[in-house]
Chain A
Amino acid sequence: MKQGLKVFLILAVLTAVEFAVALLVPSAFLLGLMATAKAGLVIYYYMHIYKLVAEEEITDRESYAYKEGTNRVGLWLFLLSDFFLFAGLLISRFNLLGFTRPHLNQTLGFAVTVMLLVSSYFMNRAETRFKEGDLAGFQANAWITLGLGLAFMLGVVAVEWPLAAAEGLTASGSAAGAIFYLMTGMHAFHVLTGLIFLAIVLRNARHGVFAEGKGWPVEAAAVYWHFVDVVWIFFYPALYLIGTLI
């Protein structure tokens, strides 16, 4: 079995277990631990963070390979910076709500979470295909990723938001509503930028812009996409699972 699929299956099992844990023993510590484990898997296998420290023997600094390594460091530092934004949102959530949570549609929350996780699997497949030189396979998988990403975003913004508002959780009604819309909104905005980035990369790849080994934008779009997934891995339990209902 391919590594990408193995990782995906473990993630799927962990997500199911997470949901069960939330139902049976709603321990914030356990849920946090599981989210960290899931994030660790994505960061290592899908975002291949180990490439940052890979021993390089390139001495020519003008070479594409060296510049790609430089770009990689830059991208990861950007993600580190962005991580602080999302960490700030999480801290604000716990500061305002403590171990309570607003009433949300659990089925919908689980469904969009699965969609984003599956999209990460296809993004990884797309990247692998691209590295193997299989442009058609890359395109097919990238399209699936785009579709799932779009479905996730619409699921949150066009379905979940009106549903929550209809049940009385509005942005201006309470701090709980405000932080819910800010967290999901900020995340959805990042999903949108990831979609645009991926769409541009897909278009340029079809036009053969990333010839022979010059595929850094594909890797960048993939790593960024997985990062957005990692953020949701923490946001999902923080919003849907941890704490008692208000």
Chain B
Amino acid sequence: MKTFFNLPIMRGLRWQIFGTAAGGLLVAAIRALMGLEAFGPLLFTEPSWVVGALTGAIAFMFGVGALDDWLKMAAGEAVAEEHHDPPGWQKYFSVSYDHKVIGIQYTAASIILIGTGGLLALIFRTELSRAGLDFLSLQWYNTLMSLHGMIMIVSILVGIAGVMNYLVPMLLGARDMAFPRLNAFGFWVVVPASMLLLGSMALGGVDTGWTGYPPLSVRSPIGIQMFFVGVWVAGWSSILGSLNLLVTVLRLRARGMTSFKMPIFVWAAIAASIISLTATQLISLAFQMVVFERALGMPFFNPDLGGNPILFQHLFWFYSHPVVYVFVLPGLGIISELLPVFVRKPLFGYRWIAMSSLGIALVGFVVWAHHMFTSGMNEYLRVPFMYSTLLVAVPTGVKFFSWVATMWQGRIKVETPMLFVLGGIFVFLLGGLTGPPNATVSTDLHLHDTYFIVGHFHDTMFGGYVFPFFAALYYWFPKATGKRLNERLGKWHFWLMTPSVVGFTLLMMRIGLLGMRRRIADYDPALGFDFTHLLITIFGYLVFISVLIFLYNVYITIKRGEPATGNVWGSRSPEWQVPSPMPPHNYSAEMVVVGEPYDYGRPDAPPYVIFEKQESAQ
């Protein structure tokens, strides 16, 4: 128990509490000197809480030790090149610079957040399973619904970061990411950010939905400030993580790895990183403006004083549309990466897939206003944004054709990762086909703010992220641990999750078409949606149970799983050419690319990479 409380993460959390108190008290003292109220009904006043949230997050970073080396550098002291992690499980709760440890930290954090977000959804889904308010207040319904959205988004960003961090240096043949300290910083800011998001529940909650639109968010309880500051802090993880990834790809590729010989997942990671490096700044700005409007009365979004609430929506969606590609592009990359392994055929149209990832990312920057067809923005913007949005279907279609052509006449081995790949393709297809009706102005005017959108969105998220994420976990678990997850439990997981996801999303779309509004706590029983809502709730529980099966699988596999240290899936990819689990500095010899990454089923093809022992070190 004592070791537990001495872990760096626990020290960081203690510091966060002290930091919040210190920042809050400082503002209280300043306010007292200015003759203003020093304390409010929720202990502190709102400005105190905002400053406290920020100082608390900074204090966490000091407390956990993520800034130690930079402080030394600033003081002009030498910093050790090699960083030694504590042995065993403790390294996962301490600052580590090893990209594999950070990747696992990110992934574990993502699973914890997904569980939390899922749990919140189950609570309000239970409330929705029949008409009438049964056990939640309107305020709590709104809070749970809003936080479900934002916590899931953070969990997806964190999960993407986990997979990219773990894989990309190994796929490139690098020892680590380009900036290991920055990498650790990027992970650790997620912890105080998550605390802030969850902390908003204690400060009156959030009643705006995950979008936080003003003027509603200007009138919300103080909890919305914790929500805004939390997202802002988490944004740094996205920005710095994607910066690190781009530099790593640009500078640390193995010899011979020209741009069209990179593993296809790397292309997806590049495309996603371009978006999160740049667009994240705009949601940060939008949220900061609301924070300032609330705390200092700066009327950015108040039309009475010359403000414009539509401006918020433009800034917000300039990030929040492209970010869905940050979620799905790496997932689609995983699909393209794994398919050839399991069908034993080359990836069809490698260059097209690589370019389609970039194409989706770039077109994604100019489609944001399709979320605003009903907002009252200038009407002449509608049609151009409709066409730009429909254009996204072209590069996305390229990916589907490539997958189908890759599978065509292949000898498909249906193991658990492949099941999730196939499930992902199917569910993402459902999400993709239900997209154009929302992009088309005439139909969107009917569909906007209905459950149709919710169903469509959950199909894209499950198909584009959740299924590929689980495929990646089943596929690379042996690489990380040297043990293989149980196939039987994996199949249970898949066969429970897939019909449930398809079921609840299609039912959501159905009642959405019939007029069910989204984001509301109650509905008229005369609409006749009770039974459908009950089914949606039951399917939601089944998805949750299937994830519990996965967690149980992880638990028993780590405890007494069969060892799997070799090339479990018969992959050509570099990380599988060496025994598992990977040693701290990855490959002991220099990796050189000599062949094509996906020449499966061609016995005379050269291997993708070889490892050259250096004759003389240095």
Contact = CB atoms under 8 A, between A and B. Distances in A.
B74 to A, nearest CB: 5
A111 interface: no
Given A61-B252, A70-B251, A74-B247, A171 B296 contact: yes
Contact of A204 (B76, B239, B244): B76
Q: Which of B74, B282, B298 has most chain A Cβ within 10 Å?
A: B298
Contact of A74 (B243, B284, B300): B243
Contacts of B308: 95-96, 175
Interface in A189-244: 200, 203-204, 207, 209
Interface string B249-287: 011100000000000000000000000011111101100
A73 B247 contact: yes
B178 interface: yes
B302 interface: yes
Contact of A176 (B178, B244, B306, B318): B306
A171 B297 contact: yes
Q: Is the interface of B mostly helix, strand, loop or mixed?
A: helix
B292 A78 contact: no
Nearest to B296: A171
B606 interface: no
Given A175-B305, A178-B292, A178-B298, A77 B246 contact: yes
Contacts of B251: 66, 69-70, 73
| B: contact size bracket | 35 or more
Contact of B247 (A77, A177, A181): A77
Interface in A54-77: 61, 66, 69-70, 73-74, 77
B284 A85 contact: yes
A42 to B, nearest CB: 21
Interface residues of A, number: 36
Nearest to B178: A70
A179 B244 CA distance: 32
A88 B315 contact: yes
Nearest to B305: A174
B436 interface: no
Contact of B300 (A61, A81, A92): A92
A175 B247 contact: no
A78 B178 CA distance: 14
Given A96-B306, A175-B306, A207-B76, A84 B278 contact: yes
Given A70-B178, A77-B243, A89-B285, A172 B277 contact: no
B215 to A, nearest CB: 13
Nearest to B238: A81
Given A88-B315, A96-B311, A203-B76, A81 B239 contact: yes
Interface of A: 61, 66, 69-70, 73-74, 77-78, 80-82, 84-85, 88-89, 91-92, 95-97, 171-179, 181-182, 200, 203-204, 207, 209
For the complex of A and B, the 9 pairs showing the least CB-CB separation, nearest first, are A172-B297, A178-B298, A175-B306, A84-B281, A85-B281, A175-B307, A204-B76, A88-B285, A209-B76
20 contacts: A69-B251, A70-B178, A73-B251, A77-B243, A81-B239, A84-B278, A85-B282, A88-B282, A92-B289, A92-B315, A95-B308, A171-B297, A172-B298, A173-B305, A176-B306, A178-B292, A178-B299, A178-B300, A182-B289, A204-B74
Given A181-B298, A182-B292, 4 more contacts: A81-B243, A81-B281, A92-B300, A171-B297
